[in-house]
Amino acid sequence: MNYGFTKLQAYLVAEDLAHDIFEVTKHFPRNEDRSLTDQIRRSSRSVCSNLAEGYAKRRYPRHFISKLTDSLGESYETETWLRFARKCEYIDNDTYNRLHIKSESVTKLVLFMIRNPTKFEDKYVDNKPTRAR
């Protein structure tokens, strides 16, 4: 099934980044399995899940922006873990730069959504509550 959120540019780039991070972290040291590896995988995936949840709540602007803000926070967290991975020499500068560019792109796209929530409104749903008669 194809859901509307899977067409969002922010979602597509975030999903691609999460997959890249999964592949890169397969080569992290075993002693990082329950710390850095787990954290960076979780935060990168959480960007996607928060975008999906936010998309479902776009009928309610405050809820939509709240979930997008959560997604933005997870994006910043992912960038933080990427920086640690580079500092710990688990990834080289080229890999960091490639992932950083995607991470930065996700951040910019999510910020655009936060600043322009009406562009993502569900135009086919009446935002007014209905009354039972």
Using DSSP, state whether 90 is helix, strand or coil. coil
CATH value at residue 67:
1.20.1440.60
Does any domain span residue 82?
yes
Residue 126 lies in a domain: no
The CA distance from 120 to 71, in Å, is 16
Are 126 and 84 in contact, with CB atoms under 8 Å apart?
A: no
What are the average pLDDT values for consecutive 10-residue runs of the chain, which has 133 residues? 86 98 96 93 98 94 96 98 97 98 98 95 59 51
Q: pLDDT value at position 45?
A: 98
> Which pair of tokens denotes residue 35?
């710390």
Structure tokens at 107: 């951040």
> How many structural domains are present in the chain?
1
- 1 Cβ contact list (under 8 Å, min separation 6): none
pLDDT of residue 125: 54
Range of the domain at 105: 4-120
Q: What is the largest CA-CA distance in the chain?
A: 66
Query: For residue 94, what are the contacts with CB-CB under 8 A and spacing of at least 6?
Result: none
Q: How far apart are the first and last CA of the chain?
A: 35
pTM of the model: 0.88
